[in-house]
Amino acid sequence: MSNFYQKLCDAIGAASVREQEPMSAHTTFRAGGPARYFVTPEGEKELAAVLAACREAEKAYYILGNGSNLLVSDKGYDGVIIHLFKNMSAMRIEGNKVYVQAGALLSKVAVQAGRKGLTGMEFASGIPGTIGGALVMNAGAYGGEMKDVVETVTCLTPEHSSTTSRSSGT
């Protein structure tokens, strides 16, 4: 067992850390070799701990949502895949605001918002990715884009502190 593997296990628990995980099990194309390390943090504190371990050990990492339209080499990924889908996908609706973690499916958020009578996310109902990925790429379809419906984003900075930014809507 490597020292880095042990650091990851200490940070988030051994049950949330896998070695040589086949990426074909985590992409919509069902292709791709193994990730050297595959971690599933359960919240912001665990995510920050994984990022700190990666930075300290100078290990490359990639944040993975649902694996939609992601191609991974058959040789795999010699770094840390940080999987947010499922474990970091909480959502709540309060009034006309939707609060969502990065791993939530975009299509599910759009459906739930619609069920509560909220409009604006109809464009997202057929997009297979997660909120985090949709924000990074400003996902859109049918004339709507994430920038049109997002008011505030809270993210981790390189120093692992939370920061909030507001969308200008343009």
Q: Residues 129-153: pLDDT tens digits?
A: 999 999 999 999 999 999 999 999 9
Return d(Cα 7, Cα 12) in angstroms, integer: 9
pTM: 0.89
pLDDT in tens, 106-115: 999 999 999 9
Q: For the chain, what percent of residues have pLDDT higher than 70?
A: 92
| 30 token code pair | 């069902």
Return d(Cα 46, Cα 159) in angstroms, integer: 14
pLDDT of residue 90: 96
pLDDT of residue 56: 95
Span 103-124, average pLDDT: 95
Nearest in space to 53 (alpha carbons), one of 120, 125, 5: 5
Confidence of residue 170 (pLDDT cuts 50, 70, 90): very low
| 11 token code pair | 């940070």
Confidence of residue 160 (pLDDT cuts 50, 70, 90): low
